[in-house]
Amino acid sequence: MTIHAIVGGQYGSEAKGHVAAQLTQHLRRDATHRRDIHLVRVGGSNAGHSAVDATGVTWALRQVPAAAVVDRDAWLYIAQGSEIDCDVLFDEIRRLDAAGFDVSSRLIIDVSATVVESHHIEQETGSDINARTGSTQKGIGAARAARLMRQAKTAIQYERLRDTLGTMFHSFNDTSQMFRQRHDEGGHIVIEGTQGYGLGLHTVNYPQTTSGDCRTVDLLAQIGFVPLNPKRNRAIYTWLVFRTYPIRVAGNSGTMQNELSWDDLGAATGGYIKPERTTVTKKIRRVAEWDSELARAAVAANGGAGEHVKMCLMFGDYLDPNIAGITDHDTLCDTINDEAADWVIARERELGVPVTLLGTSASTAVWNPSQTQNLINNNKEGQQQ
């Protein structure tokens, strides 16, 4: 089995849900069995991931794996290193089931996942944590602290969760054991990570960080998979997701190099770029120019450049609105302007990693954009040499 870890390379909101959907659909085309794709959500409900289903509806999900809406056959998991807000989870299951995605019969929750209780949320909203760190105040940090103090309840211990989901097919299990077994059976495990490298608890951005770390190795730990067996270590890929213009949440959320205004970006693109709001808090995000130092640090933190790292460069249409909605190489190469093409190639050169996926809208992307013909207009091939 191949493991695909989707990790953010900046400060979160890099479009990891979009990448999860694109990757899952890509893998499904090569899958031999209906349920040999396993979609795993780690982290807590403080991070929302969006994916667009076949009808064009955008689903912003905080607990269920986002790619559930593009693959109705994949198994779905909430891993042992996750935090569960029951109100959020039950609402997502209800809405997804009503839309025909049959989530309740294919969702498996690890018995050891931590439950976020109301007093965890109250603990964060009643403190100065937001002023100090830019926290979303969804109780995730408090729940993790309670876990460290051995005071938190696990999914199997929480009566409300157990009684509500206990009658569902395969609703509780030791998912780490399942992943180890299924790794030897073939197929794909897609881990949908949360936040981004720059928000890692042990980075220089502390204390304006999240309450965990955000690298591939951290995601593997959260699902309980230890890649020390040589047979298993060969098939782990990092899908490192970047935005063309990184963002951070509003407020005292930490430093950003070369911060911009949405008005300036909008004016530069003829009004195409508009202010963005966070999925969970709905506050207008802060935005900045590309940070090469941060991007290089994210690559290094995930093992350095190599075949195991797949760069996903999202919001490519922010560089050139004319490529919005494009899904094939030839059209991209014929359409993208020289400045945008050069910018993409410059990112590949500075990181030593080719762009595997270029996002062209919230629901579209081009695979291997610079590997078909040169990602260049007007016979500029010589400039890539």
Give pLDDT tens digits for 70-82: 999 999 999 999 9
Instruction: Please give the average per-residue pLDDT across 252-268, as a whole number.
Output: 92
**Amino acid (one-letter) located at 70:** V
Average pLDDT of the chain is 88
What's the angle, vertex CA 276, arms to CA 275 and CA 277, rounded to 5? 125
* Sequence-ordered alpha helix ranges (H) in the chain: 16-28, 86-98, 118-125, 129-133, 140-148, 159-165, 175-183, 216-222, 230-233, 262-268, 292-301, 329-335, 338-351
Query: Which pLDDT score is estimated for 379?
Result: 33
Q: What is the DSSP string of 228-260?
A: TSHHHHTTEEEEEEEESS-EE-SSS----TTEE
Tokens describing residue 346: 């410059």
Say what the pLDDT of residue 159 is.
84
Mean pLDDT of 137-143: 85
Fold of 2-241: Adenylosuccinate Synthetase; Chain A, domain 1 (3.40.440)
Angstrom distance (rounded) from CA 344 to CA 355: 8
Do residues 136 and 249 touch, judged by C-beta distance below 8 A? yes
Q: How many CA atoms lie within 13 A of 1 on its CB side?
A: 22
Helix (H, G, I), strand (E, B) or coil at 218: helix
Neighbours of 350 (CB within 10 A): 13
Those residues whose C-beta lies under 8 Å from the C-beta of residue 316, and which sit 6 or more positions away, are 244, 323, 340, 344, 358, 359, 360, 366
Tell me which of 13-27, 84-98, 129-143, 167-181 is least confident: 129-143
pLDDT of 96 higher than 90: yes
The pTM (predicted TM-score) of the whole model is 0.91
pLDDT at 232: 56
Distances (CA, A) of 129 to 83, 154, 164, 266: 19, 24, 32, 32
Q: What is the DSSP string of 298-312?
A: HHHHTT-SSTTEEEE
Lowest mean pLDDT across 41-55, 154-168, 285-299: 154-168
CA pair distance 184, 182, nearest whole angstrom: 5
